[in-house]
Structure 1
Amino acid sequence: MLAMLIEFRKRLIVLLLALGVVAPGCQSVEQDGVAGGKSRPNIVFMVVEDLSPRIGAFGDPIAVTPNLDQVAGEGVRFIKVFTSAGVCAPSRAALITGMHQASIGAQNMRTSSFVWPGSNRRGYEAVPPPEVKAFPELMRAAGYFTINNSKTDYQIGNPFTVWDENGPDATWKDRPSGAPFFAMYSLQLTHESALFLPGSVNTAGETSLPNSRAAEAGRNALAKRTRPEDVVVPPYYPDTRAVREEIARQYDNVQLMDAWVGEQLKELRQAGLLENTIVIWTTDHGDGLPRAKRSLYDSGLSVPMIIRFPDGHGAGTVDDQLVSFVDLAPTLLSLAGVDPPHWLQGRNILDRKTPEPGYVFAARDRFDEVYIDRSRAARSKDFKYIRNDLPDVPFYGDIPYRDNLATMQEMRRQLGEGKLSPLQASYFATPRPAEELYDLNADPDEINNLAGDARYADEKLKARSALDKWQADVADLGAMAERDMVERMWPGGVQPETAAPFIRTFTGANGKTMVELHSLTGGASIGYRLNAGPRTLWSLYVRPFEVPAGARIETKAIRYGYKESAVSGVVIPP
């Protein structure tokens, strides 16, 4: 039944990796030789959805995760990894670019749900600074074959230059012989929508029904289900049967996800390739439950991460350095032997020569069409500071999609009946405190706000100053009205169009015909094809290349957030 489920979701994939001496673990990558001339490793990056550290190897006694527990035993567990947002699209924008989402105009959830003033028009694509490139595109430029299977959600469009293949059928098998590859995989079995009961989904959740049904079918096929009476209910939820059943469903979905991980590892092992690959597993933000997803609390930002190095380096160890999602781009580039560009806002976490930061940062902005908020967070190893710029906006927002959660329904019902505790009712209350401060060691649920406690005034001031500096350093766009930000990116409400590339031919030093491509649009990425057929992939243009006489060249360009250019072409004369 599980195999049928995975096939139904189009997520049954083969993660076969070959050819490469893989860099060891938590040391300088340069020192370990990946960038110093050895064969470049293939890398598999699994990013599942909406999941806090509900994994056995991360200390959860209820989770049934034998495959991930084994990976953790063979790899390094990173226990203080935090996303830059508690919701998928802004978080994935930061992940793919290595830039905080509020610095590239991708902070709102989602750009596609923005309602243009005075019209029924919806949506835009964020336009990052021209130098910004998705890290897989930088890997492509260095010779990697990159595939994504299959979620994107980057808020900057889906530039065709990022991936060699992108979609549910993307496969490493199409790579050129001997080329290293980077494979990124997503899975929705732990997504918020997988908690919805298919028989009672509202219109806002209808598009997620396939995932809800797939998850329900998978849970029904499990040999052992999680008992609601065994789960722990946080104090900010009412402890009712419906809430317990939903948390139990989350654990069952985790069990299904773990089986999917096992399938990928099995494929590698049977092919004799597991010991020639770097495997990285994490999630795109915390749990899909209320006061977790869409929040700046650890329940929404804290994610588990495992890196398994094939030489066994660091096997079974724990790394507790503060890690932000913007750190993953430079880390992955370094593993591939690619020098991280200067504009990245993160650091290579495997290079011990780079100092660990005192804080990591996160942002919360608009959700869906009408719920406007703006909050920022600074987290150290011991404290969380949150600044709510719009305290008159309740933490709870009217998000119909989230209303499909049984926990949300229970909280609203008990609010109407006056049965919520003061803590639980505070989710709906206004005004919110303008500042929040939590001692994470004494108060991991973040329920006792110390911002007004004079004993913690120095800690609050230090965190506030760090947050101010970070906002200035990354040029946080959150305070700008969204319509003004969009006008700056799309002047007059019109999406700019990338200029089609010029094609210049010249005779190289060897007497052969060479082609050079150039677009007048600053920051444009350029792709090309030679003698294209129906299935010919677009190659990424990096430098002038040789072409045979009589070849037909097609080329187009894209700047992130712009329209693709028209295709231009030329036939090389004999």
Structure 2
Amino acid sequence: MTIKLEALKFSILVTLAFLFVSCSNDKKTEIKTEESDKANIILFVADDHGTDALGCYGNPIIKTPNLDKLASEGVRFTNAYCTSASCAASRSVILSGKYGHATGSYGHVHDYHHFSTFDNVKTLSNRLTEAGYLTARIGKYHVAPEKVYLFDEVLEADPRNTVEMADKCKDVINSEKPFFLYFCTDDPHRGHPFKPEPWDTPNTFGNKKEGYTGVNQVTYNPENVLVPEFLPDNKQSREEIAQYYQSISRIDQGFGKLMGHLKEAGKLENTIVFYISDNGMAFPGAKTTVYEPGIKLPCIIKDPTKSKKGTTNTARISWVDLTPTILDMVEVDYEEKDFHGKSFENIIDKENSEDWNQIYASHTFHEITMYYPMRVVIDENFKLIWNIAYRLDYPFASDLWAASTWQATYRNEEEYFGNRTVQDYMFRPEFELFDLSKDPNESNNLAKNEDFSDVLESLKSKMKAFQLKTKDPWLIMWDHDSSLQGTGVNL
């Protein structure tokens, strides 16, 4: 009797154990299935690439077939803006959804610049890790501290060789978990040495005579390149633009390689792909300025769930909108108050949206020696720039000052640099007001034109409201209102 009872107990325990394991496996299968249904995200960020140098944005000279294909399969935004035309400051906004003036990301993070994001900021990568994503980054990082911008995996490759970078991402792409890949090139940033000898040697923009493994060299004749109006059309500009183009064509090949790996993994149809840049081309008049060539950037998005392909979207979006947009795309919950930006997920496949006609920009530093805070509001056709430190000379990034494009003007004591006088470029007024519909090159400052006084005051009011809402310390410069200033005591 005792033996039978023990046998019965054993049988019940075995059955319960089987049911527990079976239920656990079912639960695991359910979780795995749920995770596998989530879309993957690739956020591809170039370094200093403007809208001036992409075939799909109207340049007939440059060869960017893979990025042009992405535009034909997705949507191309024509009014997309970074918030600060400086690498580190811009990248902090991309990954946090907040303006740098509110997170402590005032400028460059590396070396003696030492700007860093506050510890309590919760970024995109951390949020996606919590949501079950494999998060990985490769290439340029340029944000800090790491615990705020944490990724599960850090991949190593030459950030100038996007083909090599793409190959290093194969394991991430083939992951069983949904993945977020933050793919950041060093191209087409200016390359070392920044100060050439002789002075009129064009910068290489990372190009090498021997080329890069796996990359086909695509070179350009300086006579054929397109010189934007804000640059002088001379030998030096053309030679440097040719090098810039070559660097971008290398990006394009790596992007094509990455899409090839995505196709081989069978994940083209459940991966959302973004192509953006951190700021405009690394030439005086673009990078480090808040003029259109510095902050108006390429943004191409391919979302396989959207029905329309090859469309153009004129909505004004900003990099501060990227994090909430991506979280909406992959259905990860968040509080709207967590971000300064707002999601544009529901307008991606629309060509126009009346509610998306206003953006703000906030630049304070590039290098630590380049203190020149500027705030921007664009509302409909009008753009207001507030040069808060207008009494200072406009500071140059060290690599832009040494650029042969600038030095040709400086050494020859030319009156004009592109469509601006050197005097106007070096010494800015407190306010610059432009009608972008009639003056896209921002040549005619309307700030002191009485006919536009109402527009000026309206935009000033909007700018103040923006600064108050986003807790911008530089709000104090309007009327010395110290309401946003801290106590100096850690509580």
Give the Cα separation in 1 of the matches to 2:346 and 2:426. 45
| Matched AA of 1:125 | S
Do structure 1's residue 144 and structure 2's residue 133 form an aligned pair? yes
Report the AA paired with residue 127 of structure 1: F
Secondary structure of the corresponding residue to residue 69 of structure 2? helix
* Alignment deviations for residues 374-398 of structure 1 (CA, whole Å, 9 cap, x no partner): 1111123422110111111122x24
Residue 30 of structure 2 is matched in structure 1 by none
Inter-partner Cα distance in structure 2 for 1:489 and 1:40: 45
1:95 and 2:89 equivalent?
A: no
Which 10-residue stretch deviates more, 288-297 or 470-479?
470-479
- Label 1:394 to 1:177 Cα distance change in 2 as closer, same or farther (>3 A): closer
SS in 1 for 2:106: coil
- What is the match of residue 421 of structure 2? 424
Q: Does 1:125 align with 2:125?
A: no
Cα 1:201–1:258 change in 2 (3 A) is: farther
Q: Shift of residue 271 of structure 1?
A: 3.3
Q: What SS does the corresponding residue of 2:361 show, helix, strand or coil?
A: strand
Partner of 2:47: 49
Deviating more after overlay: 144-153 vs 402-411: 402-411
Shift of 1:173: 2.7
- Asked if the contact 1:386/1:437 (under 8 Å) is kept, the reply is yes
Provide the rounded CA distance (Å) in 1 between the counterparts of 2:67 and 2:342. 26
Q: What SS does structure 2 have at the residue aligned with 1:113? A: coil
Q: Deviations over 1:152-174 (max 9, x none)?
A: 222x3111772101242675736
Task: Report the Cα distance in structure 2 between the residues aligned to 1:476 and 1:58, rounded to whole angstroms.
Answer: 34
Kept in 1: contact 2:207–2:247 (CA 8 A):
no
Q: Cα distance 1:226–1:441, how it changes in 2: closer, same or farther (>3 A)? A: farther
Q: Which has the higher helix share?
A: 2
CA gap of 1:434–1:229, structure 2 versus 1, over 3 A, is same
Q: Secondary structure at the match of 1:269?
A: helix
Distance 1:201 1:148, change over 3 A: farther
Task: Give the aligned partner of residue 456 of structure 1.
Answer: 452
Q: Give the whole-Å Cα distance in 2 for the aligned partners of 1:296 and 1:314.
A: 32
For 1:375, the equivalent position in structure 2 comes to 374
Matched, 1:476 2:472: yes
Question: How many aligned positions are there?
Answer: 433
Q: Secondary structure at the match of 2:406?
A: helix
Instruction: Indicate how the Cα distance of structure 1 residues 224 and 161 shifts in structure 2: closer, same or farther if over 3 A, else same.
Output: closer
Instruction: Map 1:95-244 to 2 at 5 A.
Output: 95-110=94-109, 112-114=111-113, 123=114, 125-127=116-118, 130=120, 132-154=121-143, 156-159=144-147, 162-168=150-156, 171=169, 173=171, 178-193=176-191, 212-214=206-208, 217=211, 225-244=219-238
Check 1:404–1:167 CA distance in 2 against 1; reply closer, same or farther (3 A cut). farther
The amino acid across from 2:123 in the alignment is A
What's the TM-score, normalizing by structure 1?
0.68
Matching residue of 2:399:
401
Residue 205 of structure 1 corresponds to none
Q: Secondary structure at the match of 1:178?
A: coil
The answer to whether the 8 Å contact 1:285/1:301 transfers is yes
Match of 1:297 in 2: 291
* Distance (Å, rounded) in 1 between the aligned partners of 2:473 and 2:374: 12
Deviation, 1:108, is: 2.7
Q: Secondary structure at the match of 2:315?
A: coil
Assess if the C-alpha contact under 8 Å between 1:172 and 1:183 holds in 2. no
Shift in alpha-carbon separation, 1:308–1:418, aligned structure 2, 3 A? closer
> Deviations along 1:81-138, whole A, 9 cap, x unmatched?
1001011111011111110111112123347534xxxxxxxx353325x3x2011111
Choose from 336, 348, 358 the match for 2:343: 348
Mapped contact 2:93–2:99 kept (Cα < 8 A): yes
Q: Give the superposition deviation at 1:332.
A: 0.7
Contact 1:75 1:314 in 2 (8 A): yes
> Is the contact between residue 189 and residue 253 of structure 1 (CA under 8 Å) also seen in structure 2?
yes
Select the residue among 331, 336, 340 that pairs with 1:337: 331
CA contact (8 A) 1:84 1:361 kept: yes
Mapped to 2, the partners of 1:201 and 1:268 lie a distance apart of: 44
RMSD: 3.4
- Deviation per residue, 1:214-254 (Å, 9 max, x gap): 488369x8665322223333344332111111112222222
Write the deviation string for residues 230-282 of structure 1: whole angstroms up to 9, x where unpaired: 33333443321111111122222222211111111122223333223211111
The percentage of counterpart residues that share the same residue type is 27
Aligned to 2:26: none
One-letter code of the match for 1:151?
Answer: K
Alignment partner of 1:257: what SS? helix
Compared with structure 1, are the counterparts of its residues 450 and 157 closer, same or farther at alpha carbon in structure 2 (3 Å cutoff)? same
Separation in structure 2 between the aligned mates of residue 161 and residue 286 of structure 1, nearest angstrom: 23
Instruction: Point out where structure 2 has 5 or more consecutive residues left out of the alignment.
Output: 1-33, 158-167
CA deviations 1:37-89 (Å, max 9, x no partner) are 99211111111110111211122222211111111111111111100101111
How far did 1:471 drift? 0.5
Give the SS at the match of 1:401: helix
Do the aligned residues in 1 keep the contact of 2:107 with 2:115 (CA within 8 Å)? no
Using the size of structure 2 for normalisation, the TM-score is 0.79
Tell me the CA shift for residue 418 of structure 1: 5.6
Residue of 433, 439, 454 corresponding to 1:437: 433
Query: How many Å apart are 1:402 and its aligned residue?
Result: 2.4
Amino acid at match of 1:51: H
Q: Secondary structure at the match of 2:262?
A: helix
Give the structure 2 partner of residue 11 of structure 1: none
